[in-house]
Amino acid sequence: MGNEYDRDEFFLQYASMPRSEQGLSAAGEWHQLKPLFEPVKGKRILDLGCGYGWHCRYAVQQGAVEALGIDISQKMLNQAEKLTHEEGITYRLCGIEEYEYPAGRWDFVVSNLALHYVADIQWVFQQVARTLTPKGVFLFNIEHPTFTAGVGQDWVYDAQGRPQYWPIDDYFISGERKTHFLGCEVTKQHHTLTQILMGLLRCGFVLEAVEEAQPSQEMLSLPGMKDELRRPMMLLVKARIEK
Amino acid sequence: MGNEYDRDEFFLQYASMPRSEQGLSAAGEWHQLKPLFEPVKGKRILDLGCGYGWHCRYAVQQGAVEALGIDISQKMLNQAEKLTHEEGITYRLCGIEEYEYPAGRWDFVVSNLALHYVADIQWVFQQVARTLTPKGVFLFNIEHPTFTAGVGQDWVYDAQGRPQYWPIDDYFISGERKTHFLGCEVTKQHHTLTQILMGLLRCGFVLEAVEEAQPSQEMLSLPGMKDELRRPMMLLVKARIEK
């Protein structure tokens, strides 16, 4: 990805999102991601695109002995450092496509809302398969293919400005999508469902969960949240390596 | 499903589709479904929604010793009988939701473009899990959730009548969808990707393939076929029961 997260105006916007101010409990996907989290006691965790480090801290609070969070945004990592008081967590300025993925180094690899910035997702799957210990788990949440194939990744609105439907196009043409997020132009990568799931299967992963994120009952009362039932935005995948 | 396939005008239209006149080779999904077919030599096959019986005949031609095709359309089954000269194939007028699914009876269950007429897909998954022999395989092709969540299951067209984009809505509200197919109103059932894949995992299936059907290179030259790259229409799933 380009490093949009380090642009001042983008970062300011990001910093004021509920998930940035309040952490996991304010993230729409957490009520589904949390039950998929491995028991981490005594485990070593790698977080790809760690952002503010919420998942690293959660893992260590649950008993993980080591966590490494990588991210390409120094601003995000500065904030992560500020928020972190736990032992055993390291943050590193490093892209998901640059990390060295040492063989058999990590028991659990997690990635939340970062892989849709990665062009060659198949390569990342191969690296994760290699860096996991036997029976290790890869848990990630990626923007849903129906979302990334959205035309301009936005609704079509009716005359009153209300979302009318979610338009998709060029689904099987994977790759770069220009979109607007938090007032900036952001480049994302569209991957088909086939590329995501067959990509994992081809690397020797066994699929343990494939879930689309839906707002929880409590979140449905928040403004605009009912529209989240109209098209899937995020795809959660839990996969275990067989080796 | 309602039995639209037995209505005269619908059946006439269906009978003139390339897949009806020419069989598997004219079906857009076959080039992807065929490689997922189990080696069937000596196996017993159940086909849910067998239609003209193409998959039953293919299985027996490949060495299967027994095939049962069930369908709720007598007109389809009449045609299946006419086309069938192989030994070992039985056709039965029976709904997917009515069949008795004897325990450990079948080695391989196949279903092509029928499960999007079934309301309680989870129940069917349970029955298929039961009727399969140990390590038996369930291979199916269902209309893609992005397709069944399509508004009216049709494109939005531009002023020149060209498909502009594929609109989706109410994705997480699964269930009945009224749609037009071959000039008739047809009721289909929308299931989310989560319901399909987690439904299988919950029944003890291991996912071996999850593929979206794309036209083959040769098919792309047919009129309108390039639009099939713009949104996914079918989802192919191969799942093995662990028992």
Handedness of CA A74, A79, A80, A85 (dihedral sign): positive
Cβ pairs A/B, distance under 8 A: 106
Residues whose CB falls within 8 Å of the CB of residue B140, separated by 6 or more in sequence, listed in order? B48, B109, B110, B111, B112, B115, B236, B237
Q: Which candidate, A229, A143, A184, places its Cα nearest to that of A8?
A: A184
Alpha-carbon distance of A10 to B181, in angstroms, equals 46
Confidence of residue B223 (pLDDT cuts 50, 70, 90): confident
For residue A53, what is the DSSP state?
A: -
Chain B residues lying within 8 Å of A240, measured CB to CB: none
Q: What is the mean pLDDT of chain B?
A: 94
Are the C-beta atoms of residues B70 and B97 closer than 8 Å to each other?
no
CB contact under 8 A, B166 and A168: yes
Are the C-beta atoms of residues B212 and B235 closer than 8 Å to each other?
yes
Task: Mark which residues 148-167 of B lie under 8 Å from A by CB.
Answer: 149, 151, 156, 164-167
Longest dimension (CA), chain A: 56
Residues whose CB falls within 8 Å of the CB of residue B106, separated by 6 or more in sequence, listed in order? B44, B45, B46, B68, B131, B132, B133, B136
Chain B contact for A227, CB < 8 A?
no
- The pLDDT of residue B187 is 93
Asked whether residue A104 is domain-assigned, the answer is yes
Q: What is the mean pLDDT of chain A?
A: 94
pLDDT, tens only, B142-190: 999 999 999 999 999 999 999 999 999 999 999 999 988 888 889 999 9
Task: Compute the average pLDDT of residues A188-209.
Answer: 98
- The pLDDT of residue A2 is 55
CB contact under 8 A, B212 and A172: yes
pLDDT, tens only, A32-72: 999 999 899 999 999 999 999 999 999 999 999 999 999 99
Which among A209, A230, A235 has the least Cβ separation from residue B198? A209
Chain B residues lying within 8 Å of A197, measured CB to CB: 207, 210
* Percentage of chain A modeled with pLDDT above 90: 79
Task: Compute the average pLDDT of residues A173-196.
Answer: 93
Alpha-carbon distance of B200 to B132, in angstroms, equals 13
Q: Which candidate, B104, B110, B109, places its Cα nearest to that of B131?
A: B104
Query: Searching chain A, which residue's CA lies closest to the CA of residue B212?
Result: A194
Asked whether residue A163 is domain-assigned, the answer is no
* Structural domain of A85: 28-141+191-225+237-241
A76 vs A26, higher pLDDT:
A76
**How many domains is chain B partitioned into structurally?**
1
Tell me how close the Cα of A52 comes to any Cα of chain B, in angstroms: 29
For residue A118, what is the DSSP state?
A: -
Tell me how close the Cα of A69 comes to any Cα of chain B, in angstroms: 29
pLDDT, tens only, A88-119: 999 999 999 999 999 999 999 999 999 999 99
Q: Of the given ranges (A124-128, B123-127, B171-175, B185-189), which has the lowest mean pLDDT?
A: B185-189
Q: Is the pLDDT of residue B118 over 90?
A: yes
Q: Is the pLDDT of residue B140 over 70?
A: yes
Chain A residues lying within 8 Å of B207, measured CB to CB: 197, 201, 206-207, 210
Task: Compute the average pLDDT of residues B213-231.
Answer: 91
Asked whether residue A48 is domain-assigned, the answer is yes
| Alpha carbon A118 to its chain's center | 11
- The pLDDT of residue B183 is 81
| Alpha carbon A103 to its chain's center | 23
Task: Compute the average pLDDT of residues B65-79.
Answer: 96
Asked whether residue A56 is domain-assigned, the answer is yes
Asked whether residue A175 is domain-assigned, the answer is no
3-state secondary structure of A59: helix
- The pLDDT of residue B166 is 98
CB contact under 8 A, A168 and B207: no
Chain A residues lying within 8 Å of B231, measured CB to CB: 149, 168-169, 171
Looking up residue B24, the CATH number of its domain turns out to be 3.40.50.150
Confidence of residue A27 (pLDDT cuts 50, 70, 90): confident
- The pLDDT of residue B2 is 55
Longest dimension (CA), chain B: 56
Tell me how close the Cα of A8 comes to any Cα of chain B, in angstroms: 35
* Percentage of chain B modeled with pLDDT above 90: 79
A243 vs A227, higher pLDDT:
A227
